Structure 1
Amino acid sequence: MSGDSTANLVRMVNQIARNVTHEADPVATVADHVAAFWSGRMRAQIATWLDQHGGEGLDPVALAALQRLQQGADAG
Structure 2
Amino acid sequence: MDTRNLIDMANRIGDFFESMPDHEEALTGVAEHIRRFWEPRMRRALLATLDEAPDTYDIALTNFTREAIVRYREKLTPAQASAA
Q: TM-score range by the shorter chain?
A: 0.7 to 0.9
Where in structure 1 are there 5+ consecutive unaligned residues? none
Deviation at 1:27, TM superposition (A): 1.1
What's the Cα RMSD here?
1.5
Q: Does the CA contact (< 8 Å) of 1:26 and 1:61 recur in 2? A: no
Q: Report % sequence identity.
A: 29
Which one has a bigger Cα radius of gyration? Answer: 2
Which has the larger helix fraction? 1
Aligned to 1:46: 46
TM-score (normalised: structure 1): 0.78
Residues 13-63 of structure 1, C-alpha deviation per residue, up to 9 Å, x if partnerless?
Answer: 101111112322221110110011100000000011110124x41111110
How many corresponding residue pairs?
69
Flag structure 2 segments of 5+ consecutive residues without an equivalent: 78-84
TM-score by length of 2: 0.72
Deviation above 4 Å: which 4+ runs of structure 1? none
